[in-house]
Structure 1
């Protein structure tokens, strides 16, 4: 008998940090380790089943993975965190380490030998919307009636806190109660419906914020001395609003930008923050190359970037800097992602 780590973790009998059965607790309950399933990863073969004719044609058997953790695994290629909105709602994150918070804040499982899943769960997901439909439209087969007075852009909606089922994260208590605040005489069912939906959305957003706040701050995904190649069309060229400041100063380390601000050379602090953020790599000895049809070679140099006409040309130059054996990481939509690269997998290019 075998179990994947996440399913076994939900029993409460696994030492999650160690990735092993908690022998002391198991013995306290009157059982032994010999009675526990073998712990294995969800994609690890733990046995084989012979086909109807026997022989070598046999099917591999692996431990089943739970639905929630499966959702996290499926979303991992896009983001290490994902939210599932159903009768309840949950936010899960796969990470290489557990957050340094009290055990009663997040629920946590071991995902496999190397990773963990932790997150938050609320008892007030779509079940709250179903409840509102029954209360507001009992004679309409669950369909909420429209208000006689359509909503306007400036109409104030009531505030709805959706704790009608108590609340799990972060209170883990039946005591919290739902609140509907700000009702007026002219309020219609449509406004109430929107308020309920916003309340549920608030719960999801709050859990996402709390779970993601436990991630270590992630800045660069390249080690010092490496190369970053930016591939972007930039049809508008350099910043439309700040075209005079950004090319004039270029991206650079914090000290350089700070001097420009103190000397009065740069007065727009939003631009200063942008230059520091974009130039963070410069202070770590990282070379940045730009492949863009919208920014000329001269403009790239003004930004303190190297210019390349094609990705192939950029890779040739990069390998000349860091060596032909350097590893390459490709981040699609890199400007929209928050990739997590552990020290063991840091790359040079």
Structure 2
């Protein structure tokens, strides 16, 4: 058995996968976000650990015999978060998360300090990334900054609690702005610019390599036996790509989770920072990826569900299917700022075209359409970097809605493949990485494509109806941004 753990923003999920690559049982524990000030987003690393232990205990109770056979553990997680440890490896403050945008001014400062930063990192400096967060801390929390012995990413903190080792994998490290992504090594230039050294960074390994062995006290506590290895793991999107088999060049993934991501695997480093495309390392050796990111995807639907007083997101989304789109408002889904293609931490969401006849169904439709348009704009940025997609695996909570998938497919112009067998995202991919770490098997032997439940093809008729609304959506952003109303 192989155990995958996914440290998400809204929940921690654990999954057991057998030697035939089949999910056996999964569990989940909800997480909360602290927002003490505008633009801030934080979580407690200790809460992550407690939730992980709870999720694993759920697995033990559900499938005790299978759990006892665990031989390797892999972890995926939300990227970019800053977990700060002192000299005794104690957490100094709550982790600053990927959707925290307080450090937007420091992004400008960092690129001024290192004019070649985009060439080194392959990415624009964005407030969601880790390095600008440390510049902010240096200014606003200098006592904390001076006490930093190690900077870890969220999933790396769990690896530390499991093994006692301070390591990170290439896919996650690529989202810090400290990594020379082409060379797959820490950049001394970027570290120096933020007042840090290589000694304050974790060791770097590939996601399918062994990070360490599970601590003996945890082996006993969880009723395991023998040596249990822990893999380097991966950032959430790279792990999801491993989970659905998007590991060969030009294979693609669309994730409609808290954020919306279009992920394309490549065999070379191919950046396009001018349009806020992310160029990262993949979780496997000698492979890279490109990503476009919408910061508030399923998050937008969750927000609208609460706003309209509906208890079920699925039921609320279902209302959208009977709406005449031409009568619905246009929605800009920038509830947490935006990344691709705008890189605008100050962008805010809005509805345009509300009338006294606008009802909850129209709001649901507008939100889902707006997220589809944001993904389409991200895909346009990817195509500007030379990437073309014919088909992409469709995962995340939003993938449960075939209607939403049709909007995305038609707005973007490529087919979506919904995998059979439920959610095979980050936790499943992490389990596959655990298997490779334990057995030494090649990625091609483990990362098979999952069977399709169905194909969601773009509709030419729907695309034609969406086109003028998408153009209006784009004009609204440009006009409002130029007038500095964000």
Query: In the alignment, is residue 191 of structure 1 matched against residue 356 of structure 2?
Result: no
Cα RMSD (Å): 4.1
- Structure 1 counterpart SS, 2:168: strand
Question: 5+ residue gaps in structure 2?
Answer: 1-165, 221-225, 391-448, 456-486
Residue 373 (structure 2) aligns with? 202
Residue of structure 2 in register with 1:344 after alignment:
none
Work out whether residues 265 and 288 of structure 2, in 8 Å CA contact, stay in contact via their aligned partners in 1: yes
CA distance in 1, matches of 2:292, 2:268: 16
Match of 2:273 among 102, 110, 113: 102
User: Is the counterpart of residue 69 in structure 1 residue 244 in structure 2?
Assistant: no
Higher relative contact order (CA closer than 8 Å, sequence separation 6+): 2
**In 1: Cα distance, 2:214 partner to 2:304 partner:** 50
Q: 1:167-182, aligned counterparts within 5 Å? A: 167-182=338-353
Give the C-alpha shift of residue 92 in structure 1: 1.9
The answer to which of 105-114 and 44-53 deviates more is 44-53
The question of whether the paired residues in 2 share the 8 Å contact of 1:95 and 1:117 is answered with yes
Report how far residue 214 of structure 1 moved. 2.9
Q: Is structure 2 residue 293 aligned with structure 1 residue 124?
A: no
Match for residue 255 of structure 1? none
Query: Structure 1: how far apart are the matches of 2:281 and 2:233?
Result: 14
Change (3 A) 1:69 1:192: same
| CA distances 1:290-323 after superposition (whole Å, capped 9, x unpaired) | xxxxxxxxxxxxxxxxxxxxxxxxxxxxxxxxxx
Q: Secondary structure at 2:265's aligned position in 1?
A: strand
TM-score by length of structure 2 reads 0.38
- Counterparts of 1:204 and 1:62, CA distance in 2: 32
Q: Is the 8 A contact 1:44 1:63 kept in 2?
A: yes
**1:12/1:125 CA distance change after superposition, 3 Å:** same
Q: CA deviation at 1:30?
A: 5.1
What's the TM-score once normalised by structure 1's chain length? 0.50
**Which is higher, the Rg of structure 1 or of structure 2?**
1
Greater fraction helix: 2
Match of 2:328 in 1: 157
Using the alignment, how far apart are the partners of 1:332 and 1:177 within structure 2? 37
Which position in structure 2 is the counterpart of 1:240? none
For the 8 Å contact 2:308–2:360, the answer to whether it is kept is: yes
**In structure 2, C-alpha distance between the alignment counterparts of 1:128 and 1:104, rounded to whole Å:** 23
Name the structure 1 match of 2:461. none
| Contact 2:270/2:279 (8 A) holds in 1 | no
Question: How much has 1:63 moved relative to structure 2?
Answer: 1.2
CA distance in 1, matches of 2:168, 2:326: 54
Pairwise mapping of residues 1-349 of structure 1 onto structure 2 (< 5 A)? Answer: 1-27=166-192, 29=194, 31-47=196-212, 58-77=227-246, 80-102=251-273, 105-111=276-282, 112-137=284-309, 156-212=327-383, 214-215=385-386
- Report the 3-state secondary structure (helix = DSSP H, G, I; strand = E; otherwise coil) of the residue aligned with 2:345: coil
Is contact 1:146–1:189 with CA below 8 Å preserved after alignment?
no
Q: Judging changes above 3 Å, is the alpha-carbon distance between structure 1 residues 208 and 152 closer, same or farther for their aligned structure 2 residues?
A: closer
How far apart in 2 are the matches of 1:165 and 1:214? 25
1:115, distance to aligned residue in structure 2 (A): 1.4
Q: Deviations over 1:310-343 (max 9, x none)?
A: xxxxxxxxxxxxxxxxxxxxx999xx9xxxxxxx
Deviations, residues 179-203 of structure 1 (Å, cap 9, x unaligned): 4333444443322321222112222
What is the CA distance between 1:211 and its match in structure 2?
2.6
CA deviations on 1:123-156 (whole Å, 9 max, x unpaired) are: 2212222222233337x78775999xx9576863
Unpaired runs of at least 5, structure 1: 220-330, 337-349
Shift of 1:37: 3.1
Distance 1:86 1:218 in 2: 20
